Amino acid sequence: MSFLTSGLDSELTARSLPVVQADERLQPLLSHLSHAYVGPDYNIQKTTGKISLEQIDALSVKSFPLCMRQLHKSLRDNHHLRHGGRMQYGLFLKGIGLTLEQALQFWRSEFIKGKVDADKFDKGYAYSIRHNYGKEGKRTDYTPFSCMKIILSNPPGQGDYHGCPFRHSDPELLKQKLQAYKIPPTGISQGDMF
- Do 108 and 187 reside in the same domain of the chain? no
Instruction: Please give the pLDDT value at position 34.
Output: 64
Give whole-number Cα distances, 61 to 58, 65, 69, 73, 161, in Å.
6, 9, 7, 9, 17
Are the C-beta atoms of 89 and 75 separated by less than 8 Å?
Answer: yes
Average pLDDT rounded to a whole number, residues 104-116: 96
Please check the confidence at residue 163 and state whether its pLDDT lies above 90. yes
85 within domain boundaries: yes
Instruction: Please give the pLDDT value at position 1.
Output: 44
Alpha helices in the chain (DSSP H): 2-9, 11-22, 27-32, 44-47, 56-62, 66-78, 83-95, 100-112, 118-124, 126-132, 147-152, 165-168, 171-180, 185-188, 190-193
Instruction: Please give the pLDDT value at position 17.
Output: 66
Domain end (from 84, 110, 132): 132
Give the span between the Cα atoms of 126 and 15, in whole angstroms: 59
Give the whole-number percent of the chain exceeding pLDDT 70.
77
Range of the domain at 50: 44-132
Are the C-beta atoms of 75 and 81 separated by less than 8 Å?
Answer: yes
- Do 55 and 119 reside in the same domain of the chain? yes
Please check the confidence at residue 97 and state whether its pLDDT lies above 70. yes
- Do 111 and 171 reside in the same domain of the chain? no
Average pLDDT rounded to a whole number, residues 123-148: 95
Are the C-beta atoms of 121 and 107 separated by less than 8 Å?
Answer: yes
Higher-pLDDT residue of 48, 68: 68
- Do 72 and 124 reside in the same domain of the chain? yes
Give the whole-number percent of the chain exceeding pLDDT 90.
59
The total of structural domains in the chain comes to 2
Are the C-beta atoms of 73 and 61 separated by less than 8 Å?
Answer: no
126 within domain boundaries: yes
In sequence order, which residues have a C-beta less than 8 Å from that of residue 131 and are 6 or more positions away?
A: 137, 142
Q: What is the pLDDT of residues 9-36, one digit of tens each?
A: 566 666 766 766 777 776 776 677 666 6
- Do 48 and 127 reside in the same domain of the chain? yes
Average pLDDT rounded to a whole number, residues 49-75: 93
- Do 115 and 172 reside in the same domain of the chain? no
Are the C-beta atoms of 75 and 110 separated by less than 8 Å?
Answer: yes
Give the span between the Cα atoms of 129 and 121, in whole angstroms: 11
Whole-number average pLDDT of the chain: 84
Instruction: Please give the pLDDT value at position 2.
Output: 47
Average pLDDT rounded to a whole number, residues 64-73: 96
35 within domain boundaries: no
Instruction: Please give the pLDDT value at position 30.
Output: 67
